[in-house]
Structure 1
Amino acid sequence: MRTFVSAIAVIFTLLLTAIAVPMAWTDANIVREDGFVALISPLGKDQAFQSGLAAAAVGSLESKVQLPAPVEQLGASLLKDAASSMSVWPEYPQAWNDTVRRSHQLNFAGNAASGNTSAATLVLDVAPLASLVAKRLATATGLPIEAPKSTLINIGSPAQRQQVEAVAAYAPMWWIAALGAVLLLALALLAARRRSVVVLFAGLGLAALAGLWQAGSTVLRGVGDAGLGGTTTGGVFVRELVAASADNFSGWIVDAAIAGGVLAVVGLLMLILSPKARARGRANAAGSMEG
């Protein structure tokens, strides 16, 4: 009975760990704003993606600004330059981070909290980029230029938004699964007749989970390449977000694999060096000498 209880506890420990680790990563890097900004910030260096964002920002501003004839040519030249080379402006990195934060608030903090009551899909709000262009245009022309308050790019359907809201609700509860895994592992160790076997199989199971997570990460990257997103720019964003997530989670997978390997080695050493194992070894040696 003790062996059965210990085995069941180890199995459920691994199942809860399989749930807790991805949930913890999602909470830290997707649901939490600072983690999301850190994850997505490198996309600010992707020229093809940023060209699409710049074109959207410039287009939203161009359609609302009517410049007088004397400065119309100057304004058109600046807008054309912004659409092609905004990403090299010194103010651009901050504007891009503001875009990421604002978009995260729209998609995760709720529409009411972010001041937007109409968006029912996943969106990117490039208004900070449009504001950057407006400031440059105002400086160049000497005219007051008002940037649009929001410039939304669709990156997902209403159904996908509901999935994101579910993730935002449940991912922060990862600690419940983690606590359950710890308590069950403690139960397995207390109930086991040979704790070294529990440690060995817990380590092997954790290493196997790392392999499953890696396989799932590869499949998820393939889904990202399938062209999700409501627009061309939105599709690029989703694909790059999935790729960045898979790359970031791979670090957690490596840590889990190392931890599993260490536990397996410790369990094996405990098994080899246990008093019973040593006694059997001496008995076998004695039997060989008598033979």
Structure 2
Amino acid sequence: MRFLAALLLWLLTTMALAVAIPAVWTQWNVIGEDGYAGLAASAARDSRLQDAMAGELTTQVLALATDNGYSLNPGLAREVADAYTRNDGFPGQFAQANRIAHRWMFTGAVPSGNSTDEWLIDVAPMLSDPSFAATLGTLDLQVPPTLTVPITVDTPELQPGKLRWLATWGPWAAVGAAAITGVFALLTLAAARSRGKALTALGVSALLVGAAGWTGIEMGRRFVEAGLNRTTGDIRTVAEVMVAHAESSMHLWLNYTLLAGVGLVVIGALGAVLGSVLRRPSPSVGS
């Protein structure tokens, strides 16, 4: 009976861990605005994203100049954009620009002048960088307070605040899943006859969840591609790089899970062997 109870608790622990790892990662890196901005800053150090953003910023600054009756040298504009996206301040400014996209999706905050269902990123802070300002200043051309660029094509499936429910319940789900996992793990240890074998079993849980996570990411690639198909041009490259960095972050978390599993298996096996030795009766004197 005790074995069955321990087995049931182990299964519940494994299922809870399978929910907790992606829930905590998603809350930390996607739902939380600061985490999402941090992910964007990390991706902004990738040369592919830098090249794509340089191309988009060049397009925007040339369009801005044309709309105001000026002719700007495209080669010069691109040189300025390339230099800007490779300076140390770009990751922070790119992360800040991405916050407007995050708020649009998770809170419903709509930038002024946006009357469409497009997901937007504000590039005005980047074009206001001193390197651009110096170039634009020779034309007496001012960057508007907000200059948004569509991330996705206009579609009724994307609405402001579409993921507001995740912003509301995501933190509770992440904390709850982690707490339940911890409780079930402790109950598994309490119900097992051998603490060493129970630790080994919990290590196996972590190994199973880590391996399943890697498999799940691979299986989800087609859904990611469907989402990327909503983007075009340089912005698609930006989105692809951000998705790649998100996958890399998820893989890192899963690797930590696998390492924790290996550690628990080793500690559990050593504990089981030591416990068996300590429980072995000593040979009687003279036998």
TM-score in same-fold range (> 0.5): yes
SS in 1 for 2:38: helix
1:238 and 1:164 map into 2 onto residues whose CA distance is 18
2:233 maps to 232
1:66 aligns with 2:69: yes
1:59 and 1:223 map into 2 onto residues whose CA distance is 35
Q: Deviations over 1:9-54 (max 9, x none)?
A: 1111111111111111112122223322222224433244223422
**Post-superposition shift, 1:212?**
1.1
Query: Which residue type is aligned with residue 171 of structure 2?
Result: P
Conserved 8 A contact 1:99-1:125: yes
Query: Which residue type is aligned with residue 4 of structure 1?
Result: L
Conserved 8 A contact 2:65-2:141: no
**Post-superposition shift, 1:216?**
2.0
What TM-score do you get using the length of structure 2 for normalisation?
A: 0.79
2:152 maps to 155
Q: Deviations over 1:188-224 (max 9, x none)?
A: 2222233332221111111111111122233345654
SS in 2 for 1:128: helix
Q: Deviations over 1:157-205 (max 9, x none)?
A: 5536676445434432201011011111122222223333222111111
**Post-superposition shift, 1:243?**
0.8
**Post-superposition shift, 1:240?**
1.4
1:37 aligns with 2:37: yes
Query: Which residue type is aligned with residue 53 of structure 1?
Result: E
Map 1:202-221 → 2, pairs under 5 A: 202-221=202-221
1:57 maps to 60
1:241 and 1:273 map into 2 onto residues whose CA distance is 48
- Using a 3 Å threshold, how does the CA distance of structure 1 residues 66 and 116 change in structure 2: closer, same or farther? closer
1:136 and 1:27 map into 2 onto residues whose CA distance is 40
SS in 2 for 1:110: coil
Conserved 8 A contact 1:202-1:264: yes
- Using a 3 Å threshold, how does the CA distance of structure 1 residues 139 and 189 change in structure 2: closer, same or farther? same
- Using a 3 Å threshold, how does the CA distance of structure 1 residues 151 and 37 change in structure 2: closer, same or farther? same
1:111 maps to 109
Gaps in structure 1 of 5+ consecutive residues? none
Query: Which residue type is aligned with residue 211 of structure 2?
Result: G
Q: Deviations over 1:63-112 (max 9, x none)?
A: 53124xxxx5xxx12x5522454031358615433322333333334325
1:188 maps to 188
Aligned residue among 114, 125, 129 for 1:128: 125
Aligned residue among 76, 81, 89 for 1:81: 76
Query: Which residue type is aligned with residue 178 of structure 1?
Result: A
1:177 and 1:5 map into 2 onto residues whose CA distance is 21
CA RMSD of aligned residues (A): 3.3
Query: Which residue type is aligned with residue 180 of structure 2?
Result: G
Conserved 8 A contact 2:105-2:162: no
**Post-superposition shift, 1:62?**
3.1
1:140 maps to 138
- Using a 3 Å threshold, how does the CA distance of structure 1 residues 119 and 188 change in structure 2: closer, same or farther? farther
Conserved 8 A contact 1:224-1:238: no
Query: Which residue type is aligned with residue 88 of structure 1?
Result: A
Q: Which has the larger radius of gyration?
A: 1
Conserved 8 A contact 2:120-2:150: yes
- Aligned-residue sequence identity (percent) comes to 21
SS in 2 for 1:111: coil
- Using a 3 Å threshold, how does the CA distance of structure 1 residues 22 and 158 change in structure 2: closer, same or farther? farther
How many residues were matched structurally?
274
- Using a 3 Å threshold, how does the CA distance of structure 1 residues 279 and 25 change in structure 2: closer, same or farther? same
2:88 and 2:195 map into 1 onto residues whose CA distance is 59
Gaps in structure 2 of 5+ consecutive residues? none
Conserved 8 A contact 2:55-2:81: no
SS in 2 for 1:145: coil
1:171 aligns with 2:176: no
Conserved 8 A contact 1:19-1:177: yes
Greater Cα shift, 120-129 or 171-180: 120-129
2:89 and 2:273 map into 1 onto residues whose CA distance is 60
Greater Cα shift, 233-242 or 249-258: 233-242
1:24 and 1:273 map into 2 onto residues whose CA distance is 35
